[in-house]
Amino acid sequence: MILGCRASVIPDDGSVLHIGAGAFRGCIGLVTVTIPSCIESIGDWAFEGCSKLIEVYELSEHVKVSPGSIFDTTGLGGYAFDIHTDAEATSRLWTDPDGFVFYEDGELAYLLDYAGSSAEVTLPVSCHGKSYEIYGYAFYANRTLTRVVIPTGVVHISESAFERCTALESVTLPSSIEGILSWTFYKCSSLTHVEIPEGVSYIDWGAFSDCKALTDVTIPSTVTLITADAFYNCDALARVTFAKTEGWSITDFWEEMSEIELSAQELADPVTAAEYLRDTYGSCDWERAAEE
């Protein structure tokens, strides 16, 4: 198993003929790999779990994988946007002067990684003038970041983007995103403060799960859905302020899908709201009825 690399070029001198089963398995930091012409086989699940592997130079005549193939047990086609068969093909990866690693293809742009060393960062407003998405696992397990400001140039933050950033204390989110996806801040154990802006409409399953230092959250008026366990194991969560307290109900999956309407008066108390969201009804889906 090979872990921790961002780019991998396997030697093309005949010293390596086979890539064994699971060789790069779980290498979440890997964004590009070159398969040399001497490679004769790739074992099952060799690149399984390489969620940021977006670009592959596949030069071997013995191994051919199509992009996006659900039958690809090597993991190459399952993740890569580009599988080049020409060693001279132009890479769409580039790193800006501050260490942010982007993938750019026409009007599509993704922030894949951060190769810098600053503890406090403000993400770029754009990628060559274009809005961009934060790719899944982009900052996964970064042990340096303590504060992140995400500007309105970011239109989407994928699942697990900041998962296990254990030093992260504060995050400012942009109003340009529609929601906070599953596991976005999972196990960010130092996170004490997050600004959820107006414009966000949902908070997905496990989004802040195991954020054990998180003490207070404000739910803006635009949020209409909070999925089960969004704040699971947030033991320090003492205050939740709902901008709109009326119209909330929960679906209890453990009680034959029963629906319970929540009291607006009780949700107006931040301490009670925190107890409900953290513990009492934490394993339920929360939904706010559309306003007439």
Q: What is the pLDDT of residues 204-259, one digit of tens each?
A: 999 999 999 999 999 999 999 999 999 999 999 999 999 999 999 999 766 665 78
Q: Work out the percent of the chain whose per-residue pLDDT is above 90.
A: 73
This prediction has a pTM of 0.90
Q: What's the pLDDT score for residue 193?
A: 85
Position 263 scores a pLDDT of 95
Beta partners for 252? 258
Give the residue, 7 or 157, on which the prediction is more confident: 157
Which residues have a Cβ under 8 Å from the Cβ of 76 and sit 6 or more positions away?
33, 35, 42, 46, 47, 53, 56, 58, 65, 83
Long-range contacts from 211-219, C-beta under 8 angstroms, 24+ separation: 211/185, 211/186, 211/187, 212/236, 213/169, 213/189, 215/239, 216/240, 216/241, 216/270, 216/274, 217/241, 217/274, 218/243, 219/243
- CB-CB contact of 119 with 146 (8 Å): yes
The structure tokens 């030697």 sit at 11
The tens digit of pLDDT for each residue in 116-145 reads 999 999 999 999 999 999 999 999 999 999
Question: Does the pLDDT at position 153 exceed 90?
Answer: no
Q: How far lies 214's CA from each of 35, 279, 282, 283, in Å? A: 44, 14, 15, 18
pLDDT of residue 66: 77
Between CA 238 and CA 34 the distance in angstroms is: 50
pLDDT bracket for residue 16 (50, 70, 90): very high
